[in-house]
Amino acid sequence: MAGWEVVQLDELDSIPVGEGLVWHPVRRRLGIESFGINAYTSQRVGEQVVEDHDESGSGAGGHEELYVVVRGLARFTVDGTPLQAPAGTFVYVRDPALRRGAIAEQAGTVVLAIGGEPGRAYQVSPWESYFAAFPALRAERWDEAIATIQSGLREHPGNPAILYNLAAAESRAGRSKEALAHLRESVAAKPEYRESARTDPDFDAIRSDERFPG
């Protein structure tokens, strides 16, 4: 295996992850193990090019993050403060608890996100496993999707966000017993998921079961 590699943006997977946002998994493609790095684009002007989020939730990695606008124009909002960010702009969010996100204001806007948790060796963020499963879920390749999410659970045992997404995939795959067990485990770790599960269509197949955490 060579000690270096080159890859173009359009050679990376393009995975829609919501509200026009497309994730390009740089870290997974290159097998990077020492830091988190991903590219994001938006399908249309006015839609997300950085997901509105913070880094303190159960699916997050607790990272400080650096965003680099590689191409186009993004309108960031960090802790309620708006910021116009043309190509060449660096936006550093030191505090994992701060809410951040960005909207594409030009077609073809590309944002690179780099992150890690201060003072700790890098560990892949929990969200990455269920984001990576999206293509298989959309194609109803249930075994592949479930295996991808389970790989994240092996790295983050008991993580409620991964358990919730695993249960959703299992429910859609007709694996009711496993789905109910993982959903109950997720809700026990993070009670807020109980409310989400009540209306989540992924759980329609198991919601009438008496074991459902309603």
* Host domain of residue 171: 127-203
CATH number for 47: 2.60.120.10
Q: Which helix (H) or strand (E) holds 21?
A: strand 21-24
* Domains held by the chain: number: 2
Q: Is the domain of 35 the same as that of 109?
A: yes
The DSSP-derived string for 30-80 is HT--SSEEEEEEESSTTSEEEEEE-S-STTS---EEEEEEEESEEEEEETT
Instruction: Tell me the DSSP string of 113-145.
Output: EEEE-TTS-----THHHHHHTHHHHHTT-HHHH
Per-residue pLDDT of the chain in tens (214 residues, 90 and over written 9): 579 999 999 999 999 998 789 999 999 999 999 999 999 999 899 999 999 999 998 888 899 999 999 999 999 999 999 999 999 999 999 999 999 999 999 999 999 999 999 999 999 999 999 999 999 999 999 999 999 999 999 999 999 999 999 999 999 999 999 999 999 999 999 999 999 999 999 999 999 999 999 7
Asked if residue 211 is part of any domain, the answer here is no
pTM value > 0.85: yes
Query: Is 208 part of a structural domain of the chain?
Result: no
Q: Final residue of a domain: which of 116, 144, 177? A: 116
Using alpha carbons, list the distances in angstroms from residue 19 to 3, 60, 211.
37, 19, 33
